Structure 1
Amino acid sequence: MLEIENLSKAYGPVQALSGVSFSAERGRVTALLGENGAGKSTLVKVLSGLISPSSGEVNLDGSPVDLSSPERALGSGIAVVQQEISVLSNLTVAENFLLAHSSRLLNRRRAADWCKPYLERLGLGRIPANAPVSDLTIGERQLVEIARMLAQDAEVLVLDEPTAALADHDIELVHEAVRRLASENKIILYITHRLNELEEICDDVVVLRNGQLADRFETQDASINRVVHAMIGRELEELYPPRVEYSGQRPEPIVRLEGVTTDDLVQPLSISVCPGEVVATCGQLGSGLVEPLRAISGISETRSGKVYFGSANGKARSVIDGVAYCSEDRQHDGFFNNRPVWESLSAPALAATGIWGFVSPQRMRKSVDGIAERMTILPAYRDRQVSALSGGNAQKVSIGKWLSNDPKVLLLEEPTRGVDIGARAEIYALLRSLAEEGMAVLFASSDLDEVLGFGERVLIFHGNRMVHEAPTGELSRDTLATWITHGGLESR
């Protein structure tokens, strides 16, 4: 087994890990849970040899593991598959394998023969080793990442949120691979924010909180309340805030799409969103679920049809027309990663907070403090670089920056991807309060539980067209899954 004993890591006065001890057995999948900032990332960096612990040790099958460098950690049998997929899409599968074995000569035929058994072990035997990675689905790329770690004789696989960015079909591919590896007597540490994965593939659960071991139990003894209490140190009264019941008619739509097509929509789309409404678009990755948001914001060019914003006719423009858009890639365009939080929060309102064309730092900070309070971003975090924040706080910055412009429509792609359960509850509560104040909220999500729990109405996409629309209260999880995977054919 893998034994972690009294592991600690300090950064000056900050104790990222404090006396963490637990074990993970061969042939079992051990879930590693915790809020963003709980110490999971630090533990992963220690196990991968990227950082050295302040104290403690790690043993594999009774022998100490050399974690002094990534090469020695891997040589000791510990491989880490990071959340961000690192296989290179411009190379073939075999060439990506060779990147992890720089000592091998580049012989494509031999490389293909060499990596084929590892691909077969993860259910990828149908994929030619000389196939470009760009031809693979995101889930298949994730499996290639895991397979090339197996090729380095790894006995311990640390999987850091391997399904965070995957659709249901690709998630099942990863789950099947994880089960297969456990059956081969590997040691699996599985980091996830998807609590439904505990029951689906995990045998044991380890929970970290504030850098310490908060709880450890078998999955069969787990309950959502126990897991959440261990993660956040308190009972979570509700994850999804109650929906608002309307007795009369809703106000006129604030945004309408009539017969709209884009390069990624194969069928004209007509939808509307009213002030105070929370509407979800749902589907698998590449199904067209994000196209309504991108057509409204003007990111996707409309090939036909009309976008009506209020009484206006034409393309909506984010800042001018009161439309705020948050893409799914917050690291790329959600904020200034290496600048202080307050700069990102104030960026959309520079004109409003300036004087005669000059920026006023005092007025900027005053406006930012009000937004940060509403987003529950603590004062101590507001001068930090966004890159130093947890995933939940970073997402709050990505959303909160638009509040300075008092938008009428808020568009969000995957609003809680990679966000822990405590921060998710805070984000849902904030978005619900914005809707109650009259803002229209339209979000795209591939998380079925999020769609059913938070949305009031859902627009379902399959094959780059909308196939169904219904109040979420009329849909079960199974029915929704059937619509998004088969276009609803099995439910008719």
Structure 2
Amino acid sequence: MTECEKNAPLPLVRLAGIGRSFGRVRANHDISLDIHAGRIMALLGENGAGKSTLMRILAGRLQPDTGHIVIDGRRTVLSTARTAIDAGIGMVYQHFTLVEAMTVAENVFLGQEGGFWLHPRQMRDKVAALAEIYQLAVDPSRRISTLSMGERQRVEILKLLLRQSRVLILDEPTAVLTPLETEQLFKAMRRMAGQGKAVVFISHKLSEVMAVADDIAILRKGEIVDTMPVADVASVGELARRMVGREVLLQIEKNPVPCGERVLKIRDLCSKALKAIDLELFQGEILGIVGVAGNGQKALAEIICGLLAPEAGEVEIMGREWGCFFARCRTETPLGYIPEDRLGIATCPDLDLRDNFLLTTRYGFCRGPWLLGKAAEGKARETLKIFQVRPANIFALARQLSGGNLQKMVLGREFYRQPRLIVAEQPTQGLDVAATEAVWRHLLEARTRAGILLITGDLNEALALSDRIAVMFGGRIMDVFEASDTHKVDRIGMLMAGISSAA
């Protein structure tokens, strides 16, 4: 041991030789990692690299097959989530675990010892004081059902802070946040680190990692392949290359495609969330819908895809009126939908990947009352291979996949159908840079036969892929313009804030 190693500060948590397998799938193998107090560690890796599995082990949700965990220099067994919490370790998952009918304060105190006997006002005051310390603005008296995704995330973090967690694990925390909410979260993370807490930050957004992390650990195929201070990384490009093992630029050539027939026409569409929407979409183009989350984008997608009925106005899909299109919509519909909620709407978590593949493709494998199971299995395997889904086992359950791999399965299923209209909500959310690059290429290729409505919170993605851009605010379309119109592009931020381009 060198003199520097002898004098190095003792890590708050040390993972030593951690291994975990699920059947024949090796998620983690011989992982050793130090997590230090007062620092933010970014944990990076491609989809399925084993990041979430490793952190679930640290959070007591899973048990390692091999290896052990050392906390404060003492070997510790984290047999349950409760023992991990008692040891000062807490995790905020991608899918929040809040009770929607309860208030913020009630959720924060739920499960806390002594919380049952506190007066509601005392709970609200304590949560408000905690939120003020970390500047995690949220009203303690509001019900969870009324909160945005960013506000719900703050509630999850407040739950951990009230438990005095010393290690906070945040799994893809910015995936559902606006740019302003992301910056607020980063400020809170820096305050936590400044108070001696250790923060572990799982993310695919490499520019954010460079902006907020102190240290970086990279997993590849279940093994740690690199650890470094962020100061030793020269650029986002270098970080992507270290993570993927090759150059990834996220700069793809967008060749012009001739416009074909109109696949979507919307005139004066109104609903509870939408006000006088006018839009047209043609085969051969990508129309990007951008705006702060909660400004009507979801309602627009759900009406187009038949999940909600329009209250007023006209919606025409492939030349047919909305009601007529969905009344006669049988067998292979020419409309493809990639929903933001991949677990709740896009898939059935307890079905295997073959059956999830068949959710929207089954009519192509039917002969009378019979399902051609072998043919479906073959196409499902082929799709998983093309979209690099891991594990590529068609009999794995959907809930066993990482979020990014589940997203790739949904994308593969919908692209396999070759629809003429594609509605894609946040199609690269939770995907690593290599998978994002592949999805971008698939979207650009698909527009040769389809019109694509791209709803995304990633402005860079919208600008890279879209032929035209529409900005939404307060349920209205503020403006629609060519993506090549640099003057209008420069004003997107103002349009997203509700300031008219004519102002």
Alignment of 1:117-156 (within 5 A): 117-124=129-136, 127=139, 129-156=140-167
Please say if 1:2 is aligned against 2:15: no
Give the Cα–Cα distance (whole angstroms) in 1 for the partners of residues 97 and 389 of structure 2: 31
Alignment of 1:80-99 (within 5 A): 80-99=91-110
Structure 1 unaligned blocks of 5 or more: none
Q: Secondary structure at the match of 2:272?
A: coil
Selected match of 1:280 from 270, 288, 296: 288
Q: Is the 8 A contact 1:139 1:173 kept in 2?
A: no
Superposed displacement of residue 283, structure 1: 0.8
Aligned partner of 2:393: which letter?
A: Y
1:261 paired residue number: 270
Superposed displacement of residue 10, structure 1: 3.0
Task: Between 190-199 and 99-108, report the one with greater CA deviation.
Answer: 99-108
2:4 paired residue number: none
Superposed displacement of residue 217, structure 1: 2.1
Alignment of 1:177-326 (within 5 A): 177-222=188-233, 223-236=235-248, 238-246=249-257, 250-266=259-275, 268-315=276-323, 316-317=325-326, 322-326=334-338
**Residue by residue, what CA displacement relative to the aligned partner does 1:200-254 show, whole Å, maximum 9, x if unpaired?**
3222211111111122222233222222222222222x435321225xx623322
User: Structure 1 residues 54 and 487 mapped into 2: Cα distance closer, same or farther (>3 Å)?
Assistant: same
Superposed displacement of residue 16, structure 1: 2.4
**Residue by residue, what CA displacement relative to the aligned partner does 1:368-412 show, whole Å, maximum 9, x if unpaired?**
455445444479422322222233331232233334543211111
Superposed displacement of residue 57, structure 1: 3.6
Superposed displacement of residue 413, structure 1: 1.0
2:494 paired residue number: 483
Task: Between 113-122 and 56-65, report the one with greater CA deviation.
Answer: 56-65
Q: Is the 8 A contact 1:240 1:454 kept in 2?
A: no
Q: Report the aligned-residue RMSD.
A: 2.7
**Residue by residue, what CA displacement relative to the aligned partner does 1:156-199 show, whole Å, maximum 9, x if unpaired?**
11111222122233323322211221221211111112222113
User: Structure 1 residues 81 and 351 mapped into 2: Cα distance closer, same or farther (>3 Å)?
Assistant: closer
Aligned partner of 2:432: which letter?
A: D
Moved over 6 A (4+): none
Please say if 1:350 is aligned against 2:358: no
Give the Cα–Cα distance (whole angstroms) in 2 for the partners of residues 30 and 389 of structure 1: 24
Aligned partner of 2:377: which letter?
A: R
Q: Secondary structure at the match of 1:20?
A: strand
2:433 paired residue number: 421
Superposed displacement of residue 282, structure 1: 0.8
Give the Cα–Cα distance (whole angstroms) in 2 for the partners of residues 414 and 273 of structure 1: 18
Q: Is the 8 A contact 2:420 2:450 kept in 1?
A: yes
Q: Is the 8 A contact 1:240 1:429 kept in 2?
A: no
Superposed displacement of residue 277, structure 1: 1.2
Selected match of 2:444 from 419, 428, 432: 432
Q: Secondary structure at the match of 1:254?
A: strand
Aligned partner of 2:208: which letter?
A: E
Superposed displacement of residue 460, structure 1: 0.8
Q: Secondary structure at the match of 2:359?
A: helix
Aligned partner of 2:238: which letter?
A: R
Q: Secondary structure at the match of 1:305?
A: strand
Aligned partner of 2:346: which letter?
A: G
Aligned partner of 2:371: which letter?
A: V
Give the Cα–Cα distance (whole angstroms) in 2 for the partners of residues 341 and 13 of structure 1: 17
Superposed displacement of residue 97, structure 1: 2.5
Q: Is the 8 A contact 2:381 2:393 kept in 1?
A: no
Q: Secondary structure at the match of 1:159?
A: strand
Give the Cα–Cα distance (whole angstroms) in 1 for the partners of residues 270 and 307 of structure 2: 13
2:423 paired residue number: 411
Q: Is the 8 A contact 1:240 1:428 kept in 2?
A: no
**Residue by residue, what CA displacement relative to the aligned partner does 1:19-66 show, whole Å, maximum 9, x if unpaired?**
323333332211111112112112111211222333434334434444
Please say if 1:161 is aligned against 2:172: yes
Q: Is the 8 A contact 1:262 1:300 kept in 2?
A: no
Give the Cα–Cα distance (whole angstroms) in 1 for the partners of residues 358 and 180 of structure 2: 40
Give the number of equivalent residue pairs.
Answer: 486
Give the Cα–Cα distance (whole angstroms) in 1 for the partners of residues 84 and 396 of structure 2: 32
